[in-house]
Structure 1
């Protein structure tokens, strides 16, 4: 969704130059260091290595999503099973959302980074770009979570109740469901436009999010609770649905008679494996930001954050960096967890196991008595 990089605290682009003598240079340095230690000023300056990391991260995310989109579009055009086509429609929409969510906020963050960010005293303010960037983060954060939940519920219905699934789930209803998901995420992201919450620049001044660390009000707490609650609920529902689907497929495979073949089950297994990959990726990438945001806004609103403010700033930055990787890792779930790739991995592993078995068979204990008897006969 966006890329954040480290800052160098050796200088600041907002400080006026001091060049009237070495004494004034020393006094200026002491003055600036004192402000930094008191917490009244944050010394930031973008580094060349940081910009390279941002560009590489954006490039990797764009390439990954384009490759996954090409694979999904090709599979969708060749698919004849309606249940698989519905899943591919969901997956393609998710990859498109990830692609746009990685490109637009990432470009805005890169622009802020190149211009040195905003002043620390302006962290609690919000201009037009901050409103758009914060809304983009909320929108493109909720959409993948909602879609992952909807995909898990659809597969759970398809695995446990295939007849009901075939009568209820259609391509038209799937498109309506996707429209509702996008509309719901957009409504949540636009709540600050109606004074129901607010966006603000976050430390180190290169990204915007819901106001969680200072000057928080009751509406900010409600906004964060809504955002985190919806995200965590989506992850929990996806976990339950994928667990039910996985157990159903395992039980069906155990009950299958020897020699019988069910091609439909192989498609179901592939889809459930991909959904589990999406769920694990989303949990790892998004849970820290959802939890840290909830903890930060509650501590800030109750006034108990105290000297731990810097720690919570660090947690928020770490959480958004992990969330950034969701748009990069999601496409690789479809690239790597396909039947063709998994079959090749299985064949390679089976071949390696067979080679090891042949090597071990040469050193089996049963081979030694015959050799000993041969030696005795020769004597």
Structure 2
């Protein structure tokens, strides 16, 4: 979680302690002013309001993921259709990944925040904690995107080619696919261990990510292009698959004979609606970070970033804060976009439309004509 407060201060952890008298205060203030003229330290002060925002945000994410996990586990235990069970296995794995990816990086960022962050001159000195935090952000960033892409492809095959889906997709193969996704994301996150890219502290010194803004090298550009390329490709494939699935279900709905019942289609509609929700959430939350990161590293490597460095820092901070909301919003897709909830929303909307239709019907021109005719007959 990166709900952080950014303060420009001149305090230094190396300042000596002064007495509480007025002379000590004046001397301390003079020393601080002298240091501020020499260097401009940017530290994050652990204010009460900032800590409360971070804690509330983490609490909301944890509760949301736990509720969604409980709903999915209960639905998985009651589900007998294999296609639905496969989808629920994917969804449960996604929620578990989101939960872990919300807690671990969030706890590390909160620890850095409470300790005042890292000074700007130490941004490029990547320690073990920065390596772990940066790798965690890359791993837990790619996993949901890969899983959303795999779920969309699985549903597209199930909707368009149900017989082929039943013969190819099994629970064992689904688990193998999940293992491959986790290993692929882990492999990308561990590339800096082989000198193929690097992680560095990012402004305001409370989080780590791929080096994109200063002292970038060719391997950093390749690393960011790989990370952003994989993420954007996953979103694009999910968009195509969900579009095909949605159009297929709409056409099947239009061709359905009156009075016929297809319970299987209702399950497919529910799953596709949830996948569209996942895709929209991922696009909104992750696209800015994927795009801004790629833009930043290219401009930094070519030396054309110039006076726009502060703007790119601000964009990166805003983008990573938005990306952390993906792990909070994803669980609500399963909580709100279930058949029971969608049916209630549909019935409420239908009642509202029917009520408006009755009100409008009372004021139709035909009703005026009939009432006028009755009055003439009476006269």
What is the TM-score with the length of structure 2 in the denominator? 0.93
Q: Deviations over 1:78-121 (max 9, x none)?
A: 00100000000000000000000000110111111111111111
| Count of residue pairs brought into register by the alignment | 379
The question of whether the paired residues in 2 share the 8 Å contact of 1:8 and 1:45 is answered with: no
Cα gap change, 1:369 to 1:134, in 2 (>3 Å): same
Superposed displacement of residue 34, structure 1: 8.9
The question of whether the paired residues in 1 share the 8 Å contact of 2:149 and 2:234 is answered with: yes
Superposed displacement of residue 250, structure 1: 1.1
Superposed displacement of residue 256, structure 1: 1.4
Q: Deviations over 1:113-151 (max 9, x none)?
A: 111111111111111111110010000000000000000
Q: Secondary structure at the match of 2:44?
A: coil
Distance 2:367 2:151 in 1: 55
The question of whether the paired residues in 1 share the 8 Å contact of 2:10 and 2:32 is answered with: no
The question of whether the paired residues in 2 share the 8 Å contact of 1:7 and 1:50 is answered with: no
| Partner residue in 1 for 2:369 | 369
The question of whether the paired residues in 1 share the 8 Å contact of 2:159 and 2:249 is answered with: yes
Superposed displacement of residue 365, structure 1: 2.8
Cα gap change, 1:109 to 1:43, in 2 (>3 Å): closer
Distance 2:118 2:319 in 1: 21
* Higher mean C-alpha deviation, range 18-27 or range 109-118: 18-27
Cα gap change, 1:207 to 1:357, in 2 (>3 Å): same
The question of whether the paired residues in 2 share the 8 Å contact of 1:143 and 1:181 is answered with: yes
Cα gap change, 1:43 to 1:190, in 2 (>3 Å): closer
The question of whether the paired residues in 2 share the 8 Å contact of 1:10 and 1:44 is answered with: no
Unaligned stretches of 5+ residues in structure 2: none
Superposed displacement of residue 31, structure 1: 8.3
Cα gap change, 1:30 to 1:308, in 2 (>3 Å): farther
What is the TM-score with the length of structure 1 in the denominator? 0.93
Q: Deviations over 1:197-241 (max 9, x none)?
A: 111110001100011110111111111111111101111111111
Distance 1:33 1:338 in 2: 59
Superposed displacement of residue 368, structure 1: 2.9
Cα gap change, 1:348 to 1:10, in 2 (>3 Å): farther
The question of whether the paired residues in 1 share the 8 Å contact of 2:289 and 2:320 is answered with: yes
Superposed displacement of residue 362, structure 1: 2.7
Cα gap change, 1:35 to 1:202, in 2 (>3 Å): farther
The question of whether the paired residues in 2 share the 8 Å contact of 1:120 and 1:205 is answered with: yes
The question of whether the paired residues in 2 share the 8 Å contact of 1:134 and 1:210 is answered with: yes
Superposed displacement of residue 28, structure 1: 7.5
Supply the RMSD in Å over aligned alpha carbons.
2.5
* Higher mean C-alpha deviation, range 355-364 or range 166-175: 355-364
Cα gap change, 1:16 to 1:303, in 2 (>3 Å): farther
Cα gap change, 1:282 to 1:30, in 2 (>3 Å): farther
The question of whether the paired residues in 2 share the 8 Å contact of 1:11 and 1:45 is answered with: no
The question of whether the paired residues in 2 share the 8 Å contact of 1:3 and 1:58 is answered with: no
The question of whether the paired residues in 2 share the 8 Å contact of 1:7 and 1:46 is answered with: no
